Structure 1
Amino acid sequence: MTEAHTRLFWLSRPDAEAPPMHWQPLHDAMYWERPSRGPDRRPLFAPAPDWADDLQRVARAVFAADRYARRAKSFDHWTRRITLSVPVARPERWDRALASLTAVLETVTGDLWEVVFRPLHGKSVREGPLTFTDEDYAHDVALFSGGLDSLGWAAQQAALPFARALLLVTFEERNFEALQDQVYEAVRGLRRRPVRRLTQSQTVRKPRGSGIELELTTRSRGLLYAATAVHAAAAEHVPVVHLPENGQLALNPPLSAARAGACSTRSVHPWTLHHLNRVISEVAEPGSAIRVENPFATLTKGDVCAAAHDAGMSQRVLEATLSCGAPPDRRPAGPALAHCGLCYPCLVRRSGLLHAFGEDRTPYAADPWDPALPASRTGNWQALRRWLDTEWSMLDLVADAPLPPDTQPASLMEVVERGREELRALIAWAGKRTPRKAS
C-alpha cells in the first residue's frame, strides 16, 4: 500500500478496538494538548448535543489524517487518496450527510476522500453544570485567531451593550500565544459586555520512533476551527457561528494557474460554508441546527481595518495582530518576527492597513520590493503584479470554485475589484520607496 492510498482509522480513545491491518490508528493523544483542555473538558456552561460532538470528532480526525498523509509521496505531489473511519453516535445521519461532507473535504484539501462511519461505543464524561439559565449562556460565538479580521468582528461585537457574553474560540499559534493574548485583552478592554474565550491547540505530534514526517500544508485546519466553534455554540444554544474573513481572502482568487483549487486556501469560501451548513442541517436534531456565516464576505481588508478602528481598536492594536501565512518564527533561521512580509496574506494585510491609515508600521522580516531580495523570495509579489495587470471577470470568479445557488455574484465581484484597487495602491506606494537601478 503506497502513501498515496493511505488508509487512516480514528479511535475515540487510545485503548479502544484496534484498527484493521494496514490502517493507521488516530486518537486524541496525538494532539499536543493539556488534559484540562481536551475535547471533552471545556469551559462551556452545558454539554454539547451528540451531533456537535460527532462533528468535532470528524473534524479532528480529518485534521490528524491530513497531517499524517504526506503530499510529497502522492503521484502528483499534491492529491492524496484518504480513507477515514470515524465512530459517531448516529451513523445513519452521517451517511445521509456524506455527499456534503465529501464536498467540503475535497474543496478545502483538494484530495479524494472516502469517509466511513461506524457506531460510537461508550461516551466520555463531558463537563458542564446544568444549573445555569439561558441568560448565562453566550449570545454570540465567533472564531478569534488574533488576526485583523477576527479582531475586527470581535471589536464590533464587544462594543455592543449586551448583558450576555461574546464567546471567542481561539486556536493557539505556537510561539505567538502572547500576541494572541494581547489582542484578546484589547477586545476585553472595550468593557461594554462580558467576553469569554475558549482556547485549543492545533498541534499534532508524531508518534515516538515512528519516523513519520508530518504534512505542512494543513488545508483542513479551517474545518477544525469551524467545527470547534459550532460545538461551543451548540452547547450554549447560540444559533449562528461567525467566521470573520475579508471577502478578498475568503474567495482567495488564485494569482496564477498554479495556485488554482486547494493550492489557495478555501476554508471560508462561500462554497465551503454552503456545504458545511448542509452537513450540519443533515446531522443535527430537528430545530437545533446552527448556521455558519462569514460577516465580512463583502468587505475588503481595508474595510475591515476601518471597521475595527471605528469599534475602538487603535492602529497600534491592529498592527499587533497576526496575519502571516508563514510566520518567520517557524523557520529555523528566521528572525523573531510575526510577519514574513512576503506571503499573500501579508501583502493583503499591508494593503488594508495602508488603505485605512495611510501607513503600516508593522515590523516585517522583509519587503518584497527590496531589490536585494533574490527572485526566489519575491514570487508572491511578482504573481500579484501580473494578476493585477490581468482583467478580472465573472468567469474568473466561478472558474476556480463554484458558488452556492443563493449567492449574489455582483457583490463578490465588487469586493474583489475594490480589493484589487487596494493592492494596486500598495504597489504604487512601494514603487516610491524602491531605489531605481542605474541605467
Structure 2
Amino acid sequence: MTGSDHFLWWRGSRGDRPHDDRWTEIGEEAFQEKERRITGRHHLPGPVPDWAEDLFRVARAAFIADKYVRRTGVRDRWTRRISLAVPVTEHERWQSAAVRTHLTALLQILTGDLWNVDFRPLTGHYVEEAMVSPDDPRASEVALFSGGLDSLSWAATRSRADDPRPLLLVMFREIGLLRLQRRVYKAVERLDGARPVLLLPMSQTPAGDGSGLRLETSSRTRGLLYAAGAIRAATAHGVGTVHIPENGQLALNPPLTPARSAACSTRSVHPRTLSSLNALVTAVGDAGSAVRVGNPLAQLTKGEVCKAGRDAGLTRSDLESTLSCGKPPARRSGGPPIANCGVCFPCLVRRSGLIHANGTDGTRYEALPWADALPLDRGTDWRALQRWLLGRYTLTDLLTDTPLPPDTDPAVAFDLIRRGREELARLLQIAEATEAADAA
C-alpha cells in the first residue's frame, strides 16, 4: 500500500480503537439520522440473524468510505485505494477466503476502486430486539421502493397479486423529495387491491466528515446499502427474496462513450452485481435464512415497464409524477422544486419510456435536452446519446463492458438493448421535428 491509501475504521465498542494513526474512525455519527431510526428493530416483526446485521453494518461502512474518500484527491481522479476495517458478530464466516473474494469483487464492480476489507470480532454491542407479537403482519414479499417509475410499476403489479399476505415496500427516503415519494406511494394505495401493502421508510443520509469540504459526489455503493437494508428487513419477515425493480435497459446501462465504461456508469442493479451480492449472502448467511436478491424487471425496457404499470391500473399522471433523475434539481442547494432535470441519461430513458407507453410525456422537467439555450455542460448526455444511437452497437460491445454472469444469456440481453435503442430513437425524431418547427 502507498501513501495514497485511505484507511477507515468503523467503530465498535468503546475499547475498540485502531492501533495506529493511519486510521480515520467512522461510526454512527457519520449519518444524519439517529441510530435508533436506522438500526432499531422496533419496526420489524421478528428477529434479524447476526449475519444480516453484519452485512448491513459492512454496507453502511462501505457507503461512508465511498463518500468520505474523494476521487478528486487521487491521481486519475477516479480510482481510489481504500482499506476498511469493520467489526462483525459472525467473525469466522467473514474471515473466510470466499467472503473476502465476493465482497471485494462486489465493491470493485460497483465503484471501480481497489478495496481491502478486514474484519474483527464485534463485542459489547447492544441491538434493540424486535417486539414480536402474534398479531404483527408478516410480509410474503419484499421490494425496494424509490418513488421511481420502475419501483412504482412493480409495486402496482404486485399489489394486485392474489396473496392475502402483505407486500412490504422498503423506501429509502430522499431529503427534499419525501413529499414526492409519499405521493407515488399513494398511487399504489389508490389501486385498492385486495392485498395489504406495508411501507417501511428508512433514511441513510451521510453527514459531513468535519473538513468542511463537499463529500464525494459519486455514490456507487448507495445501491448496496439499500439492498442490505432490504435484506435485513426480509429476514425479520421470513421472506427469502428481495426484489430490486430496475428496467433491464438501465440495469445493464451500456456506456454511451468509452469514458463511461464499467464503474464510470452506475452498476448497482447490473446482473453481475446482483450475482456477486447473492454469492456474498450465500457465503455469510445461515443455510435456512439466507436471502436472494433479484431484479424482476430485468427483461423489460423502460417503455415496457411503463406499459406494465398502465396494465396494473396506474394512470398516465401516476407515472409522470415519479422520480427518475440522476441529479434531481430539488436535491441541489437553491435548485427549483422539480424532481427531474430532463437532461441526464436516466431522464432521457424515462422520456423515451413514457412516450413508448403513452404516446407523449407530460412530466414537468427543468430543461429540454435539445433546447438551444441549454448550457454546453448540461447537454453532455444528450450529445453522447445521439452519437451512440447513430453508431453501431454489437454483441461484442455488450460483452466487453461489465461481464455478464454465467446464467445470463447474452443474446437475450443484446435484444433488450436493441429494443431500448428503438425507444430512445424516438427522441431523435422529436428533436428533429422541434428544430424544423423552430426554423419555420
Task: Give the TM-score normalised by the residue count of structure 2.
Answer: 0.95
Question: Residue 94 of structure 2 contacts residue 119 of structure 2 at CA under 8 Å; is this kept in 1?
Answer: yes
Report deviation, 1:377: 1.7
Indicate conservation of the 8 Å contact 1:223/1:267, yes or no.
yes
Unmatched runs of 5 consecutive residues or more in structure 1: none
* Alignment check: 8 A CA contact 2:68 2:209 kept: no
**SS of equivalent to 1:179:** helix
Q: Report the count of equivalent residues.
A: 436
Distance 1:136 1:173 in 2: 26
Superposed counterparts of 1:145-156, under 5 Å: 145-156=146-157
Contact 2:79 2:112 in 1 (8 A): yes
8 Å CA contact 1:31–1:201 kept in 2: the answer is no
How far, CA to CA, are the matches of 1:331 and 1:38 in structure 2? 24
1:111 aligns with 2:113: yes
**What 5-or-longer segments of structure 2 have no aligned partner?**
none
Which residue of structure 1 aligns with residue 18 of structure 2? Answer: 19
Per-residue deviation, residues 57-85 of structure 1 (Å, max 9, x unmatched): 00000001111000000110000000000
Quote the offset at 1:16 in angstroms: 4.9
* Cα deviation 1:74-99 (Å, max 9, x = unaligned): 11000000000011112221122110
Indicate conservation of the 8 Å contact 2:38/2:204, yes or no: no
Find the counterpart in structure 1 of residue 198 from structure 2: 196
Give, in whole Å, the separation in 1 of the partners of 2:257 and 2:46. Answer: 47
SS, match of residue 234 in structure 2: helix
> For residues 150-165 of structure 1, what are the structure 2 equivalents within 5 Å?
150-165=151-166
CA distance in 1, matches of 2:336, 2:40: 37
Distance 1:104 1:35, change over 3 A: closer
Alpha-carbon distance in 2 for matches of 1:188, 1:4: 51
Distance 1:3 1:262, change over 3 A: farther
Residues 207-218 of structure 1: pairs in structure 2 closer than 5 A: 207-208=209-210, 210-218=211-219
Deviation at 1:128, TM superposition (A): 1.4
**Distance (Å, rounded) in 2 between the aligned partners of 1:18 and 1:284:** 27
- In structure 2, the CA distance between the partners of 1:127 and 1:312, relative to structure 1 (3 Å rule), is farther
1:265 aligned residue: 266
Distance in 2 between the 1:88 and 1:128 partners? 20
Distance 1:94 1:428 in 2: 53
Partner of 1:93: 93
Q: Which amino acid aligns with 1:387?
A: W
Write the letter of the residue equivalent to 2:79.
T
SS at match of 2:142: strand
Quick one: distance in 2 between partners of 1:330 and 1:130? 37
Q: How far apart in 2 are the matches of 1:232 and 1:401?
A: 30
SS in 2 for 1:76: coil
Q: Aligned runs of 1:67-78 on 2, under 5 Å?
A: 67-78=67-78
Partner Cα distance (1:414, 1:207) in 2: 45
1:372-406 CA-to-partner distances (Å, cap 9, x unmatched) read: 22322211011001111121111111111111111
Residue of structure 2 in register with 1:294 after alignment: 295
**Cα offset, 1:288, TM superposition:** 1.7
**CA offset at residue 17 of structure 1?**
2.1
* CA-to-aligned-CA distance 1:169-198 (integer Å, 9 cap, x gap): 111111110000011121122232111111
Q: Give the AA of the match of 1:123.
A: H
Amino acid at match of 2:125: K
Offset at residue 129 of structure 1 (A):
2.5
Q: Which amino acid aligns with 1:83?
A: S
Structure 1 match to 2:330: 329
- Backbone CA RMSD of aligned residues: 1.8
Task: Give the secondary-structure state (helix, strand or coil) at the position aligned to 2:53.
Answer: helix
- Per the alignment, residue 406 of structure 1 pairs with 407
Asked if structure 1 preserves the Cα contact closer than 8 Å seen for 2:166 and 2:196, the reply is: yes
Report the CA distance between 1:436 and its aligned residue. Answer: 6.2
1:129 partnered with 2:131: yes
Alpha-carbon offset, residue 417 of structure 1 = 0.4
SS, match of residue 168 in structure 2: strand
Contact 1:84–1:115, Cα closer than 8 Å, also in 2: yes
Separation (CA, whole Å) in 1 of partners of 2:117 and 2:2: 19
Does the aligned pair in 2 maintain the 1:394–1:413 contact within 8 Å?
yes
Contact 1:8 1:23 in 2 (8 A): yes
Post-superposition CA distance 1:230-251 (Å, at most 9, x none): 1111111101100000011000
Residues 155, 79 of structure 1: alpha-carbon distance in 2 compared, 3 angstrom cutoff: same
Aligned to 1:66: 66
- Cα drift, residue 435 of structure 1: 4.7
The DSSP-based 3-state class of the residue aligned with 1:305 is: helix
Query: Residue 181 of structure 1 aligns to a residue in which SS?
Result: helix
Offset at 1:125? 2.7
Asked if the contact 1:47/1:126 (under 8 Å) is kept, the reply is: no
Distance 1:35 1:17, change over 3 A: closer
Contact kept in structure 1, 2:275 and 2:405, CA below 8 Å: yes
**Does the aligned pair in 2 maintain the 1:3–1:70 contact within 8 Å?**
no
2:40 is matched with which residue?
Answer: 40
Percent of matched pairs sharing the same residue: 51
Aligned to 1:186: 187
What is the CA–CA distance in structure 2 between the aligned matches of 1:119 and 1:277, rounded to whole Å? Answer: 23
Aligned partners of 2:35, 2:191: CA distance in 1, in Å? 32
Deviations 1:241-266 (A, max 9, x none): 00000011000000000101111000
How far is 1:126 from its partner? Answer: 2.5
